[in-house]
């Protein structure tokens, strides 16, 4: 199995599923869909990166359940903190703020949401990842033809977003 293709597939799937999860969450909490995000396309890279790291770790370093549960707490929390910190530092953007929640750190992470990420990640690894692995294998020939388009779209979205946010931060 090609590690790059497998990783890109998982990143894309989980980034898209993260976008769906956030929009469903916002629909229930605010009554509407979330319009604001770092990228313009229907992906949330924090989810893709977090789950990809967990999938790869679980695949190559078989660990016990307790260790995996701990990693499901630490990795998404760390990715969320680093993402929030970098967005604030480099683009002066704040997409979430946990300051009102107890046990938060700088408003970027909170115990409550870290526990949510842990449960979601752990469930994903055991229930959803076997399905994703099957999809990857079964539809590999289709996926391999879509890769150039996926890479171009993700790259264009990233370049456009960074350029737009940098210009926006210069104007302010």
Largest CA distance in the chain: 51
Q: Residue 172 pLDDT more than 60? A: no
> How high is the mean pLDDT of the chain?
90
Q: Residue 171 pLDDT more than 60? A: no
pLDDT of res. 154: 87
Residue range 71-95: mean pLDDT, rounded:
93
Confidence of residue 166 (pLDDT cuts 50, 70, 90): low
What does the pLDDT look like over 6-58, one tens digit per residue?
999 999 999 999 999 988 888 888 777 766 677 777 889 999 999 999 999 99
pLDDT of res. 169: 55
In this prediction the pTM is 0.88
pLDDT of res. 83: 95
Strand partners, 52: none
The DSSP annotation for 133-158 comes to: HHHHHHTHHHHHHHHHHHHHHHHHHH
Q: What are phi and psi of 103, to 5 degrees?
A: 55, 50
Residue 124 is encoded by which pair of tokens? Answer: 């994903």
- Of 45, 6, 3, nearest to 139 by C-alpha is 6
Integer Rg of the chain from CA: 17
The DSSP annotation for 68-98 comes to: HHHHHHHHHHHHHHHHHHHHHHHH---S---
């Amino acid at each position: 199995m090609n590690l790059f293709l497998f990783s890109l597939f998982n990143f894309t799937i989980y980034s898209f599923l993260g976008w769906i999860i956030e929009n469903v969450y916002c629909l229930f909490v605010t009554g509407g869909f979330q319009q604001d995000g770092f990228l313009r396309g229907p992906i949330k890279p924090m989810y893709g990166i977090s789950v990809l790291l967990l999938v790869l770790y679980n695949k190559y370093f078989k660990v016990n359940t307790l260790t995996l549960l701990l990693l499901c707490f630490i990795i998404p929390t760390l990715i969320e903190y680093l993402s929030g910190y970098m967005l604030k530092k480099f683009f002066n953007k704040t997409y979430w703020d946990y300051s009102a929640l107890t046990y938060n750190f700088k408003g970027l992470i909170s115990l409550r949401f870290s526990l949510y990420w842990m449960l979601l990640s752990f469930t994903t690894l055991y229930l959803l990842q076997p399905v994703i692995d099957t999809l990857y294998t079964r539809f590999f020939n289709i996926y391999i033809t879509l890769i150039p388009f996926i890479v171009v779209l993700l790259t264009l979205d990233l370049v456009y977003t960074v350029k737009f946010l940098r210009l926006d931060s210069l104007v302010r």
